[in-house]
Amino acid sequence: MPDKNTSISYFFAGLTVFFWSTVATAFKLALIQLSFLQLLLISVITSTVVLFMIIVVTGNTNSLIRVNKKYLFNSSVLGFLNPYLYYILVFKAYSLLPAQIAQPLNFIWPVMLVILSIPFLKQKINIRGLIALLISFAGVLLISSQGHIGYFRIEQPLGVFLALISSVVWATFWIVNLRITTNNRIQLFYNFLFASAYIFITCAITGNLSIPLHFSSLIAVYVGLFEMGITFLFWLKALQLAESTAKISNLIYLTPFLSLIFIHLILKENIYWTSVTGLVLIITGIILQKTNPVKT
């Protein structure tokens, strides 16, 4: 019989998987009437406001004020990588690609994390690890074909490139983040605060500050709530309460498959067999890599 903390951990993990499964569909719905920069502006500001409210309600306001220059500098760098640069690449990729292509390609980030750990964290990889990487990249090729495996071609090479580069940025963010140990809520808030400034300036320069009031704007608020801010805190809570973080972490692999269901039902995309097969290969490679960790 699972204890109370374990049950609560699975509850928060389930919420996380559900919300992250819906966001690929939400991205496409928001991008019907918003530019990718407008989508980022609304979602980042929404998340920043919500994170600030959570900090106030939980009585961490003093921690918010007592930050030094180094802390703020770290946040300015992390905030630039994620959410600013990362989501610019992601949203632009979604504006160019079907959701069923952009979503699994973006899920390649654990593989990129392994690759970047070799030069930056001085870690080593063995033959089994290399095979795992090759399996995942075979999945990338399948997904990129968009069902045209018989006469392979990439219909939107820029979109595919941006989706893959976004996973590099995400992996880089986590490598940099490893060296910073702070209160997660406070760090996350300042990351988003700096990102809000970055995207506001970007939208002002590019003429994207005029936000139309319609359904797509509400979807952008949803993205800010359940892709970025609140759901990330749900996931942290699930990991903190988990009896086994490995078991909880494995639940995240349900996300891309559930996402394909939402994409099919709501966006009415006909799911390519190459999308499903490619996603299976990517996750197979990731799981093989997890069971055969990179050696230092």
**Mean predicted confidence (pLDDT) in 42-67:** 90
Q: By the 8 A CB rule, do 223 and 23 touch?
A: yes
Beta-carbon count within 10 A of 4 CB: 8
What are φ and ψ of residue 124, in 5° steps? Answer: -115, 155
**Mean predicted confidence (pLDDT) in 178-204:** 86
- Measure the CA–CA gap between 217 and 211, rounded to whole angstroms: 8
Q: Report the C-alpha dihedral over residues 180, 186, 4, 239, rounded to 10 degrees.
A: -30
- Measure the CA–CA gap between 238 and 249, rounded to whole angstroms: 9
Bridge partner residues of 141 (DSSP)? none
Beta-carbon count within 10 A of 102 CB: 28
Residue 123: predicted pLDDT: 75
pTM, 2 dp: 0.88
Q: Is 233 exposed, middle or buried (0-12, 13-18, 19+ CB in 10 A)?
A: middle
Q: pLDDT tens digit string along 242-293?
A: 776 667 777 888 888 999 999 999 999 999 888 899 899 989 888 887 766 5
Q: pLDDT tens digit string along 88-144?
A: 999 999 999 999 999 888 888 878 888 888 877 777 778 888 888 888 888 888 887
Residue 219: predicted pLDDT: 96
**For residue 208, how many C-alpha atoms fall within 13 Å in the half-sphere facing its CB?**
17
- Measure the CA–CA gap between 50 and 44, rounded to whole angstroms: 10
Q: Is the pLDDT of residue 1 over 50?
A: no
Q: pLDDT tens digit string along 169-185?
A: 998 988 887 776 555 78
Tokens 């966001």 label which residue?
Answer: 23
